[in-house]
Amino acid sequence: MVLLDFPAEVLLCIADKLDKAKDLFALSCLTRATNFLFLPYLYNFNVRYQRSSALLWGVVHNQPSLVDTMCQYQADTNTTDEKSRTPIFHAIHAENVTMIRRLLSDKRTDINWQDRNKQTPLLYAMGRRLSSIALLLLDFKPFLDEKDRKQRSAIWYAIAHCDEGLVQALLQRGSDVRRKDYKGRLPTDFAIFKENENIIRMLLYHPDPKTGKSLLEDGNARDRYLRRAVKASLQDIILLLVAHGADPNIRNDSDETLLHQAADKGDKEMALQLLKCEKTSVNARDSYGRTPFQIAAENGHKAITRLLLTHSDVDINALDFNGATALCLAIQNNNTDIAMQILAEDHVEVNAAGRRGMAALHSATEMGNIPIIAALLAKNDLDPNTLDEEKWAPLTHAAFRGDLRVVELFLGRADIDMNVQTAPPIFHAAREGHIDVLRRLLCRETIYFNHKYGCREESPLCVASKLGHIEITRLLLRHKPRPDINFKTYMEYTPLILAASGGHLGIVELLLEDESLDVAATDISNDTALCHAARNGHEQVVMRLCEDPRARSGDYVKKAIKEALHCEIRLYLHRQLNEQGNLAIRP
């Protein structure tokens, strides 16, 4: 090769005139001697004319010797790729700690360089969840509060990934916890959103670099964060904020205070801490007018009710918007232990009426709760005859349910009203067929039989006859004094008419045994029992009535024939008449 025969000075002069890297590279590849001679020119050329691209290539392909050489030739450590990322970004992407340290050891490396997404190396590392590399970068003192295109800072990424160690490191290095993200949230707001209590504590205790005060010492901030903590149900954070002076009576979207929420969830520890705070309103009302004590009683949280009862300011007789006390709510939800707990207190209001106008005794009777009923009846100030919205007394409910044990308890009170005009217990016991309850009620001398009850104005005997309760009817007829056997309803139906209309043959026979029975009694339409039986197709009842001489009237039989829908009944009734159409005389 003639070119290689030239002196080195001449070759270097030629290299200095070349303007393409590939030519220099070709010369350096000829021999070992030319490699040694021309490589420095190639490195300088890359630095001067190719924006130190060899350095970027060396980092991407993990070539530490090339990176060291390029740095020695003063390569630009902030050269960028098409995404405006410098070599340090690529070293972070490769998680190459050695390369990162080598690049950052060069003071020319800009650790706060922002790529086209405005991410610095620190934000880039944190965005990729490379915590160890992020901690390494912190040793080189980057700007901690730089934000990317979406206004996310280093502390934002640390909180988003719930990286407690990184949050702690950022706070120790002075990261600003009062700068908002792209949604207008402060770091503490974001931590509450992420429900990470350890990070929230770090942020709350972190002092402001300017004032030296933490967020816990900022009254407005405390209350604001308390609202958010309440919404996220972060109990420990709630207690921390309250302990540092936040308003414990702050309300959530359901208009509940903290004490309401503690009572609702049965959180005794939270309730205890709240009660230690003098500002806590123990009788605050929610949107339903309930106090914390009422909520605890309703939900069956005995530990909370016991705790609240030790507080002298708690109003155990407070009424909600339905007029119910805690006692009413406890009984309605069958929370017997809590109801007994309340009844053991002094000055308990036992006659308050809640939902549907039902007092505590109504609810206990409806639930069949014997212990509560007994405890209530033992109260001297109890009104056992109070009426609910339906005008039913507690005894009426017991009779309706057929609960003999409860009826026995009621009858133990001397002031019990046996004859509730608006809802007689005896009527409901007869209608529902509760013979044992009816028998027990009939033992009281003050019982009255002939109430006109309901829109139909029926008596107990009427309703038993209509529904076919034969044993109930027999019991009523045997009692002395006897009920009015010819009692008439608003349609002037007698017990016999009602029994005949329903086809209750056994009851018809029972009624016919009474000599005072008016067999020929008519209703408002002038129909007899025979007409009703014939109309409704009760052949056996028709035959039995025709056998009774008190029912043998030609006009009544003729009317019954017209009302009869069945041929057999019409034929039978025709046979009761002679050829002249008069009632046939039986031998």
Average per-residue pLDDT for the chain? 87
Fold of domain 111-247: 1.25.40
Domain ranges, ordered by start, for the chain: 111-247, 449-587
Strand partners for 214: 207
Low-confidence winner among 10-14, 256-260, 423-427 (lowest mean pLDDT): 10-14
Strand partners for 583: 577
Q: Encode pLDDT of 367-384 as tens digits.
A: 999 999 999 999 999 999
Contact 508, 541 (CB under 8 A): yes
Across 283-311, average pLDDT = 94
Structure tokens at 101: 């340290």
449-587 CATH: 1.25.40.20
Structure tokens at 299: 């939900």
Across 248-266, average pLDDT = 89
- Split at pLDDT 50, 70, 90, the class of 579 is low
Low-confidence winner among 207-221, 252-266, 411-425 (lowest mean pLDDT): 207-221
User: In this predicted structure, what is the pLDDT of residue 370?
Assistant: 95
Give the CA distances from residue 10 to residues 17, 238, 329, 484, in Å, rounded to whole numbers and listed in that order: 11, 82, 107, 145
Distance of CA 454 to the CA centre of its chain: 40
With a cut of 50, say whether residue 484 has pLDDT above it. Answer: yes
In sequence order, what DSSP letters do the residues of 217-253 get, joined into one string?
A: G-HHHHHHHHHHHHHTT-HHHHHHHHHTT--TT---T
Structure tokens at 447: 């019982």
Q: Encode pLDDT of 391-405 as tens digits.
A: 999 999 999 999 999
Angle among Cα 143, 146, 152 to the nearest 5 degrees reads 140
In sequence order, what DSSP letters do the residues of 477-519 get, joined into one string?
A: HHSSSPP-TT---TT---HHHHHHHHT-HHHHHHHHT-TT--T
User: In this predicted structure, what is the pLDDT of residue 587?
Assistant: 46
Helix (H, G, I), strand (E, B) or coil at 465: helix
Comparing 111-247 with 449-587, is the CATH topology the same? yes
Q: Which residue in the block uniquely carries the two structure tokens 């001489």?
A: 549
Specify which of 33-42, 390-399, 557-566 reaches the highest per-range mean pLDDT.
Answer: 390-399
Across 488-510, average pLDDT = 95
Q: Encode pLDDT of 350-366 as tens digits.
A: 999 988 899 999 999 99
Q: How far apart are CA 374 and CA 413, in angstroms?
A: 11
- Split at pLDDT 50, 70, 90, the class of 126 is very high
Helix (H, G, I), strand (E, B) or coil at 318: coil
With a cut of 70, say whether residue 99 has pLDDT above it. Answer: yes
